[in-house]
Every structure is written in structure tokens, then in C-alpha cells.
Amino acid sequence: MCGIVGAVSERDVQGILLEGLRRLEYRGYDSAGMAVIDGGRVTQRAREVGKVASLAEAIETNPLSGHLGIAHTRWATHGEPSQVNAHPHMSGDRLAIVHNGIIENYQDLRDELKADGFEFTSQTDTEVVAHLIEQYYRKHSNLYDAVKAAIARLRGAYALAVLHADEPDHLLVCREGSPLVIGVGIGENFIASDQLALLPVTDRFMFLEEGDIADIRRDAVSIHDREGTPVERKIIRFEHGSDSAEKGEYRHFMLKEIYEQPAVIKATMEGRTTDTRVLEQALGTDAANLLQDVNHVQIIACGTSYHAGMVARYWIEELAGVPCSVEVASEFRYRKHVIQRDTLFLCISQSGETADTLAALRQAKQAGFRAALAICNVPGSSLVRESDLVIMTQAGPEIGVASTKAFTTQLTALLIFTLALARHNGLTEEREAEIVKAIHQLPGQVDQVLALDAEIAEMSKAFMDKNHSLFLGRGSQFPVALEGALKLKEISYIHAEAYPAGELKHGPLALVDSEMPVVTVAPNNALVEKLKSNLEEVRARGGELFVFADSAADVKAEEGIHVMQLPSVHEITAPIVYTVPLQLLSYHVAVLKGTDVDQPRNLAKSVTVE
């Protein structure tokens, strides 16, 4: 999704802006641009379709230099990807803005501004905002007042950064529904839609709240809230080393992130478990009071995070005996609900900025849920700030669009949460100790799966020329199959469907022939014999099977059945371990197909618009 960077400094800001854009590339975009106010107090602009590298080339030929600037990567919503639609947008030759989000009433405003004599050069909603601010600037001769007046007219979601050559010492930024962070420097300050963009220049950040307007100068930042009252926003230090946003020796971020899983799973359990118990206090000082009241859990999330929620439902109902519902946020937010008494609302999100998940949370807070708990990976994100209770995953920055380490750390956090809830619902100390022990074994078991990487790469060759694939799992492995299919489709563009294996004969079996690879996860559990019967059904129709199985599950390799042995794992933690070979499989298929692994087509890392 779109990315914003801005800087006010004594030094030339062009390099800072370009590096910031490069660091936002992972979010997905189709064009990039930059505007800078130079010493002669003129606003200069460069925009290019395609990669940030094209913008960098254009700027090398015609440098933009100055001490104040804004830059943007655009993901088209209004109007095709093109140079004229790329940001920054300007009104006249002095005001420039960049925008993330969607302005819903842009058409009415556009008609009004046209009638007032403004000329439009793009199809974007953003250009409307540029002209609107300029219209108010002519009236107020003050950029802060102009921005304030203009945003009062906007409906929709936005993060905006605005500069004006008549006021060359500062930037104005504001947010409503889209994230914006201020990077605090020494004698210089920065803004971005994501703190990762600014890690080379600072590790101290202030997160704007909804409705805030901030005035960013070289040596000062002042913020006003929606009512116009001056406010302070806490400075938060970024905790992960800035190299965690670098690829290092790895060919792709996705591969690096898959390999980081043993360490980040460990980091997520650290401080929250002893050898035998979950430390409930580590979930928040009020966790014990809250959890003892919970009679129902409503989980909301999107994409991979939704799959994590689906696994958690099996755990919550089995270990805590508490009913649990799971729904994708985009559906939940648009229907009526019957809320059971003492229902805990649980949102799961890597970014904490997913528009649908945030909208669902905001509705839930009005709707009478007992409390809202967030499981999230980004400190200071909107989800974290707006929830009553938070369990932070410790995955560190996830750059690859395809979520990997975020998922396994979400599962780790969800299992810890489940044990805390289950303790109030009759879980014995022995059972808790058994599962905590299994959690502690996870980093080592994931390492064992990573050691199969070369074999999985070999296996991936069988998928390279296929157009379709089927993923099967039963019980808590069904969401793992869903996640495996999502990974394959999003980075290799191979159509992949996932089914509970028991559903095969109710329809999907009709698709099975020798051209349809069927991937299955088969830990040794109570359902494994039933799963093996389902595999027979596939084999009898000529389907080629790729089975990741526990050796004790006794799935035999033979003609058309490829079996990869996985370590023996506890039934409860098996979904975490069995996810990893599916991530590696998708990764290697994508590499063989030569797709853009870290930035797959049409997708964005953080979906901050609806």
C-alpha cells in the first residue's frame, strides 16, 4: 500500500527520502515521486512509474536538492498507475502533498474546486486535497490553518504530508484512519507512514493519534489534537536493531524471515512462561481479572492472521472449554451481531494498521464486548493503542509481503493466551506443564524443519509447471493447509485451494487428476488414520501426493506419494511446526518461477484502506 516519507533537515534531504522509499518498497506500489523545496524557495518535483530505482535514476539526471521534502510510493486506487497520477500532487507551483488513504467525497470536492477555477491534471482523490488546501491557503495565508480547514471538509481516510514554498521551514502532517509516525532526530526531524522507512536516521518515534495535526520543523515538533488543543505524544524507542530490516546474506526477505522463526518464537515466549507455567501477569496487570470472566472469545483478523485465529479456536475450545468464534474482519464489520455476555474481542494483526481489522475493533468497542485484546507485532500501531490489553509478538520487522514469522509468533502468543484462559477453566497444572514444555521445544523443532530446506527445494520442482494445487489438513491442521495454500498462491501465482480432508468426496475430488499436486500435513494425531483414507481417495484418482508427516504416522512413500518426515511434535504445537515446510515449499516454487517473492504483484504488505 502507499508509503510516505518526509524530512526537514540542515542537510540535503534527497538521499534520506530515497532511502526511506526503498525501505517502503515491501508494502507494494506502482509509482514513486518526490518534491523538495530548494534554496531558491521553489518546489521541485520528480515522479516515475515503476520502481523507486527509476525515480532514483531520474533524480540522478535531474537532481532535486533542498532541506525540506516529501516523497511517496503509490498503490493505485483512483486512476491508473501513471506519471500524472503519481504523488506528490501540486496545486500551482508552490504547494505539494503526498497522501495515503482514500477520500470518499473527492468527486463533490473536485466539482466544487473546478467551478472555482482549479485545473486538474490527474484522476486522483489526492489532487483534490492539494487544491483544497491551496484554496484555504489563499484565504488564511498560513499553512496550519489551511490544512486544518481543508481536512475538516474531507470524508474518508488519510495520512497527509504538505509543504508550501512560501513557508520553506516546515512540513504539516496529519492523520485520520491511516498511520503516520514522526521520527525525532537531532537538529532534524522526519515523518513516514512506517517507522522502518526512517531507521537509518533515527530510532525515536512519536505516533500520531487519529485527528492529530503536527507541525514539523528542523528543531521542533508541535502537535495539536482534533479539537486544536496542543498535545504531547510519547517518544518510543525502536527496539529491534536497524539491521533487522536488511536482507543480509539471504536472497529474499521472505527466506530470511522463515529462518528467523526459531529465534522470534523464542523471543515471543520469553518472559511469559516459566519451565512449567504461563505467567499470566505478563499478559497485562489486569489479565487475571479479565480472563476469569470470559465466557466466549470472538476472534477477528484478515489473511494469514485470520488463519492464526482459526488455529486458536481449536486450542481455546479444547484446552479452555470456552466457546470461540472466528471471522474475517471485512465480513464481521458489515453484519449485525448477537454478542454473548462476557465475550472477549480478540484482534490479530501483524501490522496493527489493517483497515478492516481496525474498523471491526472500533465497532466492537461500542458494541458491548467485555474487553478488546490485540495480538500484534508493531509497537505503537493503531491496534495496540486502541485495545484494552495487548500481547506483542516479537517477530521484529516483517518485510516480505507474504507473512511467515508473524504467523508462527502469533500462534505462539495465542497458545500462551489460551493456557492463561484455560487455567481459569479447569486446566490441570500437569496439562499446562506438558504444553508449556512443548512450547519450549518449538525453536529446536523448527530448526529441524529448516534443515530440510534443500529437500523441500527439490520437491518444489514438481510444482513449477502446474496451474492448480490442493492442500489438505484435518482438525487444527486445516488452517495450516489454508495458510500453505495462501502462501503458494500469493507468491507463485499458482491457484491453490485448501480443504479439510474429510470434505474431499463432497466436491473437490472431482478436480483430482495427475495434473493436480495435493499437499498434505500429517502429524501423528487422532485423525491421522482418517487422513490416510483421504489420501487413498486422492491416489486412486491419479493425484500426486506430497505429504509432510510424522514418522510415527506411518505414511508410506511409494509411486505418486512423496513423503517428507518431520520431527515428532506435541499435537497441540504441531500447527506451528507444520507451517514451516509449507512456507519453504512456496518460497522455492516462487524462486523457480522467477516471481517477485518479496513484493508479489497486486499485493501490499499493510492493507490500510478498505
At position 385, the amino acid (one-letter code) is: R
Q: Is 14 in the site for ligand M6R (CB under 6 A)?
A: no
The number of residues that bind ligand M6R (CB under 6 A) is 17
Cell, residue 539: 491416489
Question: Out of 161, 361, 402, 482, which residue is the one contacting ligand M6R (CB under 6 A)?
Answer: 402
605 included as an active-site residue = yes
Listed ranges 35-43, 170-178, 270-278, 297-305: which one lies at the site for ligand M6R (CB under 6 A): 297-305
User: Given the rule CB under 6 A, which of 69-77, 123-131, 238-246, 602-610 is the region that contacts ligand M6R?
Assistant: 602-610
Contact criterion met (CB below 8 Å) for 105 and 77: no
Q: Which of 51, 256, 487, 605 is catalytic?
A: 605
* CA distances from residue 289 to 323, 392, 419 in whole angstroms, order as listed: 19, 20, 15
Question: Binding string to ligand M6R for residues 308 to 347, with x set by CB under 6 A, is what?
Answer: ----------------------------------------
Residue whose C-alpha is closest to residue 106's, from 179, 156, 173: 156
Judged by CB under 6 A, the residue of 134, 167, 280, 490 near ligand M6R is 490
Which CB atom, from 291 or from 399, has the smaller least distance to ligand M6R? 399
Residue 572, classed as helix, strand or coil, is coil
Among all residues, whose Cβ is closest to ligand M6R?
303
Does residue 386 bind ligand M6R (CB under 6 A)?
no
Q: Is 412 in the site for ligand M6R (CB under 6 A)?
A: no
DSSP assignments along 517-536, one per residue = EEEEEE-SSTTHHHHHHHHH
Beta strand spans in 104-188 (E) = 156-164, 170-176, 181-184
Name, in order, each residue with C-beta under 8 angstroms of 560's C-beta and a sequence gap of 6 or more: 539, 542, 543, 544, 545
579 scored as a contact of ligand M6R (CB under 6 A) = no
Q: List the strands of the sheet with 3-8, edge to edge.
A: 43-49, 31-37, 68-74, 3-8, 189-192, 181-184, 204-207, 235-237
**Does residue 247 have an active-site annotation?**
no
Residue 303 interacting with ligand M6R (CB under 6 A): yes
Q: How far is CA 139 from the centre of its chain?
A: 41
Given the complex with ligand M6R, which of 185 and 479 has the nearer CB atom?
479
**CA-based R_g, the chain, Å:** 25
Q: Which of 195, 349, 469, 534 binds ligand M6R (CB under 6 A)?
A: 349
Number of neighbours of residue 32 by Cβ within 10 angstroms: 29
Q: How far is the CB of 218 from ligand M6R (least distance, A)?
A: 33
Residue 403 interacts with ligand M6R (CB under 6 A): yes or no: yes
Of these, 178, 304, 520, 534, which contacts ligand M6R (CB under 6 A)? 304
- 314 Rama class: left (phi>0) / alpha (psi -120 to 50) / beta: alpha
Q: Does residue 357 touch ligand M6R according to CB under 6 A?
A: yes
Listed ranges 221-229, 246-254, 351-359, 523-531: which one lies at the site for ligand M6R (CB under 6 A): 351-359
The reply to whether 305 sits near ligand M6R by the rule CB under 6 A is yes
Would you call 466 exposed, middle or buried from its count of C-beta atoms within 10 A (0-12, 13-18, 19+)? middle
Closest to ligand M6R by CB, 278 vs 384, is 384
Q: Nearest-CA neighbor of 64 among 42, 83, 93? A: 42
**Binds ligand M6R (CB under 6 A): choice among 52, 159, 302, 472:** 302
**What residues are annotated to the active site?**
2, 605
Interacting residue ranges for ligand M6R, rule: CB under 6 A? 302-305, 349-351, 354, 357, 401-403, 486, 490, 603, 606-607
